[in-house]
């Protein structure tokens, strides 16, 4: 700011006095302005701090992810054990360890994990989120579904809540993976992504959930959770290659319950089978939309032979529901036990026929391998 300078004779003293008075007035004005400004800033800061205090947890109210992780983490465990042999070939190597993740299924010590996490491990130890360790004393494993149950001597654990059906999930829905990636010291790490796809039939006898949530080695057996805090799947595998990013797959909650229910009741999964080896159409194999039926390549059960089914027959439907792939058949047969009867719609020698078939034991598996186990 510029000021006019007074010039003249006989008034220097008076001007000096006036100048001092003006300077004093300006100084007071500046102090007042600065004081007001500082007070305004201080008041704004105090108000902001007050708002932050009053609205503590505001972020959580807007984004449920932290609360979901906080709620579910006590139900997630780390699993570690010794593998058969290390690089030195000695099973006595104390660093010869492998680990994965598990989810508390029942309060009395039943833990859900992947079969490939526990298969081949000895001296399995389960570590809960609060740092308590337990030795596994019983293991049931089903390699077809890649689901296993581990029993520990514990009571009053916090079981996870499993969704009634993963069919309620939507593509694009936000989900969270919690697990033990890379190092056992990183237990209960969380990553966030979305459901990328549903009903995927890659390298599995059953349908899988696809997600872009970061799933790393060690996450296997951990939960894929929706924002309601429900486990919609158990993380099982991913595509891993140069140029491929964020393509993980989880076993849906309904398959987990189906397998776990059988393991708890029978110690194994009593699957029902058509007693047939079937070939999918070329379109179904490569993933093209198709309504082509399946072709019988081999009759493997006496029940199927008694039903009059033979090689080169074509299968269209089971109990009135069309099937297009081996995964379709396995999913449908989850609701049956060996010995049950179903009606199959087939084409035989050019004729469309209905046959009554008694189910045998077993499962039809898809050929080939598309994913990498974690």
The kind and range of the H/E element at 352 are: strand 351-358
Least confident of 42-56, 269-283, 312-326: 42-56
E strands in 89-206: 97-106, 110-113, 122-127, 133-142, 147-152, 174-179, 189-200
Q: Is the pLDDT of residue 12 over 60?
A: no
The tens digit of pLDDT for each residue in 167-218 reads 888 899 999 999 998 888 888 889 999 999 898 888 778 999 999 998 888 8
Residue 292 catalytic? Answer: no
d(CA 178, CA 222) in angstroms, rounded, equals 6
- For residue 203, the number of C-alpha atoms closer than 13 Å in the C-beta half-sphere is 15
- Give the number of other Cβ atoms within 10 Å of residue 282's Cβ: 10
Q: How confident is the model at residue 364 (pLDDT cuts 50, 70, 90)?
A: low
pLDDT of residue 125: 93
The DSSP line for 321-343 is: EE--SHHHHHHHGGG--TT-EEE
pLDDT of residue 227: 94
Q: Is the pLDDT of residue 15 over 80?
A: no
**CATH topology of 67-152 equal to that of 166-269?**
yes
Q: Is the pLDDT of residue 278 over 80?
A: yes
Structure token digits, residue 62: 């807007």
pLDDT of residue 58: 54
Structure token digits, residue 63: 């984004």
Exposure string of 70-83, with b = 16+ CB inside 10 Å and e = fewer, is eebbbbbbbbbbbe
Residue 262 catalytic? Answer: no
Which of 75, 141, 196, 220 is the catalytic position?
220
Q: Which one of 3.40.50.2300, 3.40.50.620, 3.10.20.30, 2.40.10.10 gives the CATH number of domain 67-152?
A: 2.40.10.10
Q: How confident is the model at residue 282 (pLDDT cuts 50, 70, 90)?
A: confident
Residue 146 catalytic? Answer: yes
Mean pLDDT of the chain, nearest integer: 81
Average pLDDT over residues 293-311: 92
Which of 75, 99, 116, 262 is the catalytic position?
116
Percentage of the chain with pLDDT > 70? 77
pLDDT of residue 62: 80
The tens digit of pLDDT for each residue in 84-129 reads 765 455 556 667 888 999 999 999 999 999 999 999 899 999 999 9
Range 166-269 classified under CATH 3.40.50.10790: no
Q: Is 338 left (phi over 0), alpha (psi -120 to 50) or beta?
A: beta
Distances (CA, A) of 145 to 49, 141, 195, 229, 287: 53, 9, 20, 24, 21
Average pLDDT over residues 305-312: 92
Structure token digits, residue 9: 């004779």
* Domain ranges for the chain: 14-45, 67-152, 166-269, 272-361
Structure letter (DSSP) for residue 145: T
Which of 99, 145, 146, 313 is the catalytic position?
146
The tens digit of pLDDT for each residue in 132-143 reads 999 999 999 999
Nearest alpha-carbon partner for 359 in 328, 329, 330, 337: 337
Strongest mean pLDDT among 239-243, 328-332, 361-365: 328-332
Least confident of 29-43, 107-121, 129-143, 335-349: 29-43
pLDDT of residue 90: 53
Q: Which one of 3.65.10.10, 3.20.20.190, 3.60.10.10, 2.30.42.10 gives the CATH number of domain 272-361?
A: 2.30.42.10
Least confident of 25-29, 273-277, 300-304, 311-315: 25-29
Q: Which long-range contacts (CB under 8 A, 24 or more apart) does 260-263 make?
A: 260/105, 260/110, 260/112, 260/147, 260/149, 262/142, 263/140, 263/142, 263/147, 263/148, 263/149
Least confident of 172-176, 245-249, 250-254, 255-259: 245-249
């Amino acid at each position: 700011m510029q000021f006019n300078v007074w010039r003249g004779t006989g008034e220097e003293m008076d001007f000096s006095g006036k100048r001092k008075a003006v300077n004093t007035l300006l100084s007071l004005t500046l102090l007042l302005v600065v004081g007001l400004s500082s007070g305004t800033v201080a008041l704004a800061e105090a108000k902001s701090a007050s708002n932050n205090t009053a609205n503590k947890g505001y972020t959580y109210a807007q984004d449920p992810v932290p609360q979901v992780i906080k709620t579910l983490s006590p139900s997630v465990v780390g699993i570690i054990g010794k593998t058969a042999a290390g690089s030195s070939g000695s099973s006595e190597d104390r660093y010869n360890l492998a680990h994965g993740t598990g989810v508390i299924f029942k309060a009395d010590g039943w833990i859900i994990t992947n079969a490939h996490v526990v298969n081949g491990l000895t001296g399995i130890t389960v570590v809960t989120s609060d740092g308590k360790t337990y030795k596994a004393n019983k293991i049931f494993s089903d390699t077809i579904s890649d689901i296993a149950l581990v029993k520990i001597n514990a009571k009053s654990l916090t079981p996870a809540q499993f969704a009634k059906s993963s069919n309620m999930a939507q593509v694009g829905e936000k989900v969270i993976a919690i697990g033990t990636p890379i190092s056992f010291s990183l237990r209960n790490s969380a990553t966030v992504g979305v459901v990328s796809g549903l009903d995927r039939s890659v390298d599995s006898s059953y349908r899988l959930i696809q997600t872009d949530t970061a799933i790393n080695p060690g996450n296997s057996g951990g939960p894929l959770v929706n924002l309601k805090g429900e486990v919609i799947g158990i993380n099982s595998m991913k595509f891993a290659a140069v140029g491929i990013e964020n393509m993980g797959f989880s076993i849906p909650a309904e398959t987990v319950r189906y397998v776990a229910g059988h393991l708890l009741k029978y110690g194994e999964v009593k699957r029902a089978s058509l007693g047939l080896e079937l070939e999918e159409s070329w379109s179904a194999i490569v993933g093209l939309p198709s309504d082509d039926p399946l072709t019988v390549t081999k009759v493997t059960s006496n029940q199927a032979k008694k039903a009059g089914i033979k090689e080169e027959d074509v299968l269209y439907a089971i109990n009135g529901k069309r099937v297009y792939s081996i995964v379709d058949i396995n999913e449908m047969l989850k609701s049956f036990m060996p010995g049950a009867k179903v009606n199959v719609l087939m084409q035989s020698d050019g004729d469309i026929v209905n046959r009554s078939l008694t189910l045998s034991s077993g499962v039809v598996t898809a050929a080939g391998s598309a994913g990498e186990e974690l």
